[in-house]
Structure 1
Amino acid sequence: MRELTIYGGKPLAGQLRVQGSKNAVLPILAATLLTDEPCEIRNCPDLTDVHAALDILKSLGCRADYDGHTAVIHPSGAQGTAIPDDLMRRMRSSVMFLGAVLGRCRKACISYPGGCELGARPIDIHLRALRSLGVRLLEEGGYIHCCLEQFVPRTITFMFPSVGATENIMMLCAVSEGETILVNPAREPEIVDLQNFLNCMGADIVGAGTDCIRIRGVTRLHGCSYAVIPDRIAAATYACAAAACGGEILLTGVEPVHMRILLSVLRDMGAEITEEGEQIWMRMHRRPLAVSSVKTLPYPGFPTDDQAPLMAALLKAEGSSVISETIFENRFKHVGEFLRMGANIQIEGLNAIVRGVDRLHGAEVNAADLRGGAALVIAGLSAEGKTVVRQTCYIDRGYEDIAGAFQSLGGNICYQE
């Protein structure tokens, strides 16, 4: 099993083009099931989650080719309605195929999805919305059997702005008769990207990114060529690394508007940041300053996916910071590994009190989830001595060659078998 070996303690410097968005491309790949014509997905990152999604498409009868950050999906042969359990277990976001398979076949069967163990993350919101649209559901033996005989367009109000539920309902309703209105949907940029992709295929959807999405179903979608947005979480990770290690980096191929709140926090920490089109200049020539309070919230609030990388950047800050995690109850698993490196962190319920220390030392640590694993890499880069990060399979789900990326920024990091 691969490990990451890091020799830290030096500032970062260099230029990096940020990968395409993992969280955007996965629902887009699922949505290709809604047509019989080929779809070309450009700026498609080379991630294990992406290849898991391609394997799901193949299991359903699609031809799926991947080469040079471009995926080409030929869905005309897709007749499958059941996603194999082993593929569902490979990633949490596999649940998004539910809406796409229902939209295509009017029936579907899935098991409960896998992925990072960040908490309960129930899919009740998905199922409740599907029932309201006329989907009959039967849960037995760990599987969910779905059948749609008569679609019922209506207004759906989400009690919580679930990203996955919003995506599932958008895909189903895009090819279902009538107008469906989503109130209090998720507003993430990835939702906007899914809307834009579906509209590129001929759908009629407006309002993504706001508190109300209107979907007018059409009878047929066509193939298209589409470029995925940049990965705002990957970009945030590299920016947090520069804050932790110091130095100057240039991130290209980014959307700064998608990162406004994270960039604001980094400025409060003392970073000099310049935004120019699709570029972000990041300069950090001082010890980071603590931030009094950061709370994770649904977009446009502070992203839960940025919580762990930000905490890594605050480990050596001047003063004490409080980070509150309100989205996932188990998203502080990286804290115990930080403590092995000399960090001073106290957990009180859903709050982490981070008291900055003068130095961190290298250690052997284990990644327990995707973003926590990336945060351990940041900590290793800012620590003195050698750090070994194990269980990099989690990191590979969302970062395209994270060792190579940090090498391009001057980091002393490499994979070891």
Structure 2
Amino acid sequence: MDSIRVTGGNRLNGSIPISGAKNAALPLMIASILSPETLTLENVPRLTDVQKLAQILNNLGIDVTIAGKRPGQGEGYARTMRLNAANIVDTTAPYELVSQMRASFWVLGPLLARCGKARVSLPGGCAIGTRPVDMHLMGLEKLGAEIELDSGYVNASAPNGLTGTTIHFDKVSVGATHNVLMAASMAKGTTVLENAACEPEIGDVARCLAAMGAKIEGIDTNTLVIEGAQTMHGTTHTVLPDRIETGTYAMAVAMAGGDVMLENARADLLQSALDVLVEAGAKVEASDKGIRVSRNGNGIKPVNVETAPHPGFPTDLQAQLMALMTRAEGVSTITESIFENRFMHVQELARLGADIKLDGDTATITGVQRMKGAPVMATDLRASVSLIIAGLAAEGQTTVNRVYHLDRGFERIEEKLGNCGAQIERLSA
């Protein structure tokens, strides 16, 4: 099993290309189920989650090619993916596939809308909380689906198709919004989604669905009005840049010091996080080329942050900010309001010398003058990258184990940081 070794102390200078957003690419791939014509996606990141989902879709009968290559035909660095669902041969997504990646549960809505039936395994829990699917099922039932739970599977049918209605989500849910939005794109009549999640990735998917034939109003707001299409057609869509990768590298620069241009990044996608970085002492300049982040000379200032749905501070940047605050000149607090059990990186940061105290959903971080490298263990995707950020400023070597989590969401992280002067390398077991 691979690990990544970081030797701290080097400043970061140069440029880092920001990849396409994983959290948009996955539902965009799933949206291909809705049309018998080819959906072409550009700027798709090369991640293990993307590869796994391609295998899951292929299992349903969807032909997936990446720059002319099918999965397993060679790595390459191609970024254009073509998905053709002309012949869906199976409407079952089995446990052994869904259990590998939670987002694959989102095939439920599109399969139901296109084929009138679906059998999809419940995804179960995960390392950062239970994240139940009750709102997914409620939304689909409101559209007219008949749903039964049987032996860990969702059996759903809509023999007469889905019918538009008004659906109110009791709690903001990115996954439920994606699932129901895609299903509603082929429902008869008008569907209104109230209290929908309005993350930029949902807007990206909605724009693609509109290009495929659905009529959608209220994109990028918490109320979506969808006029379903009888049939959806193919289109070409470019995946928006990854705001979480952008924020992660911005915090890495703030931690290590230096001056880096984050190429193709868009400030409007993560303004709340950039505001926090400025408060912490970094300089942030947005342009049509991307976002330039620098910190030269001044120390890191403490901040108080609570995670919130977009446009608030993203939960997916909470661990990275905590790593940065371990070196702040004072006391910071971070309250995690989205997911329970998302503080597992705390004990690993403590191994490097961080001073962090937990009280329920709030972490109090007292900045320390120095940290020392040590072997640490990645527990999930965002936690693992927080350990790399901490390692950039720790004395000596930090070895992050179980980095398969990293490969789910960060494309060639050691190459991108290494090109800016970080002393970082991947160690193969």
TM bracket (short chain): over 0.9
Q: Judging changes above 3 Å, is the alpha-carbon distance between structure 1 residues 18 and 62 closer, same or farther for their aligned structure 2 residues?
A: same
Q: Judging changes above 3 Å, is the alpha-carbon distance between structure 1 residues 387 and 114 closer, same or farther for their aligned structure 2 residues?
A: farther
**Residues of 1 paired with 2:422 and 2:94: CA distance?**
40
Aligned residues: 416
1:175 — aligned with what? 186
Does 2:332 align with 1:321? yes
Q: CA deviation at 1:408?
A: 1.6
Contact 1:134 1:149 in 2 (8 A): no
1:95 partner amino acid = F
The one of 186, 189, 194 aligned to 2:205: 194
1:312 — aligned with what? 323
Partner deviation per Cα, 1:125-165 (whole Å, 9 max, x = no partner): 11111111111111121111111134232111111111111
1:94 — aligned with what? 104
1:387 — aligned with what? 398
Partner deviation per Cα, 1:370-407 (whole Å, 9 max, x = no partner): 00111111111111100110111111110001111111
Contact 2:305 2:334 in 1 (8 A): yes
**Residues of 1 paired with 2:210 and 2:409: CA distance?**
26
2:21 — aligned with what? 21
2:120 — aligned with what? 110
Secondary structure of the residue aligned to 1:310 is: helix
Q: Judging changes above 3 Å, is the alpha-carbon distance between structure 1 residues 22 and 116 closer, same or farther for their aligned structure 2 residues?
A: farther
The one of 86, 89, 100 aligned to 1:76: 86
Partner deviation per Cα, 1:14-67 (whole Å, 9 max, x = no partner): 101100000001000000110011111100000011011111110000110123
The one of 155, 159, 165 aligned to 1:145: 155
The one of 288, 295, 300 aligned to 1:288: 300
2:74 — aligned with what? none
2:10 partner amino acid = K
2:344 — aligned with what? 333
**Residues of 2 paired with 1:73 and 1:265: CA distance?**
39
Contact 2:165 2:191 in 1 (8 A): yes
**Residues of 1 paired with 2:106 and 2:419: CA distance?**
34
Partner deviation per Cα, 1:293-334 (whole Å, 9 max, x = no partner): 200011111100010011111110000000000111111000
Contact 1:91 1:114 in 2 (8 A): no
**Residues of 2 paired with 1:185 and 1:72: CA distance?**
29
**Residues of 1 paired with 2:385 and 2:375: CA distance?**
14
Contact 1:6 1:412 in 2 (8 A): yes
**Residues of 1 paired with 2:183 and 2:225: CA distance?**
13
2:374 — aligned with what? 363
**Residues of 1 paired with 2:315 and 2:426: CA distance?**
27
**Residues of 1 paired with 2:176 and 2:40: CA distance?**
25
Q: CA deviation at 1:116?
A: 4.7
**Residues of 1 paired with 2:278 and 2:285: CA distance?**
10
Unaligned runs of at least 5 residues, structure 2: 68-77
Runs of 4+ off more than 4 Å:
none
Contact 1:343 1:360 in 2 (8 A): yes
Question: Which is worse superposed, 145-154 or 377-386?
Answer: 145-154
Secondary structure of the residue aligned to 2:334 is: strand
Secondary structure of the residue aligned to 2:270 is: helix
Does 2:239 align with 1:239? no
Pairing 1:39-78 to 2, within 5 Å after superposition: 39-67=39-67, 68-78=78-88
1:10 — aligned with what? 10
**Residues of 1 paired with 2:107 and 2:165: CA distance?**
22
2:380 partner amino acid = D
Does 2:375 align with 1:402? no
Contact 2:124 2:130 in 1 (8 A): no
Q: CA deviation at 1:79?
A: 2.8
**Residues of 1 paired with 2:9 and 2:113: CA distance?**
52
**Residues of 1 paired with 2:115 and 2:288: CA distance?**
42
Secondary structure of the residue aligned to 1:397 is: helix
2:24 partner amino acid = A
**Residues of 2 paired with 1:38 and 1:395: CA distance?**
30
1:198 partner amino acid = L
Contact 2:174 2:199 in 1 (8 A): yes
Task: State TM-score, norm by structure 2.
Answer: 0.95
Secondary structure of the residue aligned to 1:267 is: helix
Secondary structure of the residue aligned to 1:117 is: coil
Contact 1:79 1:105 in 2 (8 A): no
**Residues of 2 paired with 1:364 and 1:142: CA distance?**
38
**Residues of 1 paired with 2:109 and 2:315: CA distance?**
24
Q: Judging changes above 3 Å, is the alpha-carbon distance between structure 1 residues 35 and 212 closer, same or farther for their aligned structure 2 residues?
A: same
Contact 2:169 2:196 in 1 (8 A): yes
2:238 partner amino acid = A
Secondary structure of the residue aligned to 2:93 is: coil
1:318 partner amino acid = E
Pairing 1:111-130 to 2, within 5 Å after superposition: 111-113=121-123, 116-130=126-140
Contact 1:324 1:351 in 2 (8 A): yes
2:71 — aligned with what? none
1:276 — aligned with what? 287
Q: CA deviation at 1:84?
A: 2.3
Contact 1:24 1:229 in 2 (8 A): yes
**Residues of 1 paired with 2:384 and 2:324: CA distance?**
14
The alignment-based identity, stated in percent, is 40
Cα RMSD over matched residues? 1.1
1:346 — aligned with what? 357
1:163 partner amino acid = V
Partner deviation per Cα, 1:272-298 (whole Å, 9 max, x = no partner): 11111241111111221001x200011
Contact 2:143 2:187 in 1 (8 A): no
Secondary structure of the residue aligned to 2:92 is: coil
**Residues of 2 paired with 1:69 and 1:404: CA distance?**
17
